[in-house]
Amino acid sequence: MNDITVVPVPARVEPAPGVTFVLPADGVIRSDSASAGAFLAGALRPATGFALPVVADHPAPAIELRLVASGADEGYELDVDAGSVVVRARTTAGLFYGVQTLLQLLPSSVDAATVQDGPWTVPGGRIRDEPRFAYRGAMLDVSRHFFGPEVVLRFVDELSRYKINFLHLHLSDDQGWRIAIESWPELARSGGATQVGGGAGGCFSQAEYARIVAHAAERHVTIVPEIDLPGHTNAALHAYPQLNADGTAPPAYTGVDVGFSTLTVGREATYTFVQDVLREVAALTPGPYLHIGGDEAQSTSTEDYLAFMDRVQPMVTALGKTVVGWHQIGPARREPGRIAQYWGHKPEPDEDLLAAIAQGDRILLSPADRVYLDMKYTVDTPIGLDWAGHITTRTAYDWDPAALLPGDADVAGVEAPLWTETVATAADIHLLTFPRLPAIAEVAWSPQAARDWAAFRVRLAAHGPRWTLRGVGFHPDPEVF
């Protein structure tokens, strides 16, 4: 295990020199978790061609997945000797992450969709691993450009390989409304009918959204839905004229400017609308978080913004969810457990962030100059933006979340957003996501002391052939490949 190419790097690795496990053609998977066993078998069968039955008990299983009584929530132990591979974890999430590590220890050809030549070897030794942060996230903006369920499901699959456990979906903005609300049907029909640059746009039906939630849950990824309020609301205002102060709907918006729209804070109809939307979204989302945006509300006065948040945040709590908002929510009166998502990128202190910290908010780190996946790698990157600078893979990797904020800040974790002003296809998503997202995943998962750029770039480069086999286009960052 001295030369393993696992990403994120495990907390502790103890190699067993000279020891190798070879997966036999008649091997079985003995699993205490039907879901973990089925996932591993499904991942191994296409390339190996082996049957790999999943059984509850067997005298000599080739691979064993065991649930045990102790350990960290998402931690796992992996032991490899010449005769077996054993993954132990206290939770099914831990088993899943141990399986992901095991798959990365196998030859890269295991990711092929057709039968490949073996042998299927795993280096001997022991791994003890657990995450640094409980929240390890990515965000996909489906509002600026709409991406249908199949694209989102594929995105979930790729995220989960790197132990990302939250996917934040940005479901509403000026350019498009992307989730059907039964009590306000024009949000889907009219508010979802366009996107940046024009085009058909689109909207998830509630059944499609539920499918995404369920698929993600099978991979231990929790969906965090965002309904951006009170700004970024032109699509809703276009769909329902009665939400506008003058009763006149603005035209559909296909540009990329921000800060020009706002809900009418002083009207009760606004809060009926918000309550209905949040209620339906919460009912579709079993995860603990409901994101209410709160950023770039330049068209809402400070007084109105605070009054709006005083009304809306308790709605979230009453629905059994925890409030998440962009860090501009910091000065608003805090609901218990609130998370403020910091996206700043300037060295001077941000007053809204400091207000959030002072109120005891947990802080989700999304510094734009480190983890915004929509930023270009270099000036020559064909898509992307550059207002927060260029972000190479090393830039995304070479920082410590604990050093970014004042010492009294409670860091919930790290999330890498992908905004889609310039992102129109699944290939665009892959290009901007890889190889930077695995770098950010290691920032969020691995102990700071275990991370080193020189070693990481070698491990990461070994994932290029895996992405190629899976049809994931990526940026050939010269610092890595």
Neighbour-count burial of 449, counting CB atoms closer than 10 A to its CB (0-12 exposed, 13-18 middle, 19+ buried): exposed
Q: Which helix (H) or strand (E) holds 29?
A: strand 29-31
Question: CA 444 to CA 442: how far, in whole Å?
Answer: 5
Strand 121-129 relative to strand 12-22, pairing: antiparallel
Asked if residues 295 and 228 have their Cβ atoms less than 8 Å apart, the reply is yes
Identify any residues that bridge with 30 across adjacent strands, giving them in sequence order.
Answer: 55, 64
Distance of CA 394 to the CA centre of its chain: 20
Strands ordered across the beta sheet of 54-55: 12-22, 121-129, 76-80, 85-89, 63-67, 29-31, 54-55
Q: Which residues are catalytic?
A: 296
- Residue 251 has, within 13 A of its CA and on its CB side, a CA count of 4
* CB of 167 closer than 8 Å to CB of 221: yes
Distance CA(438)–CA(161), nearest Å, equals 9
Could you give the count of Cα atoms lying within 13 Å of 146 in the half-sphere of its Cβ?
24
Which SS3 state, helix, strand or coil, does residue 216 take?
A: helix
**d(C-alpha 216, C-alpha 164), whole Å:** 11
What is the DSSP track for 62-108? SEEEEE-S-S-TT-EEEEE-SS-EEEEESSHHHHHHHHHHHHHHS-G
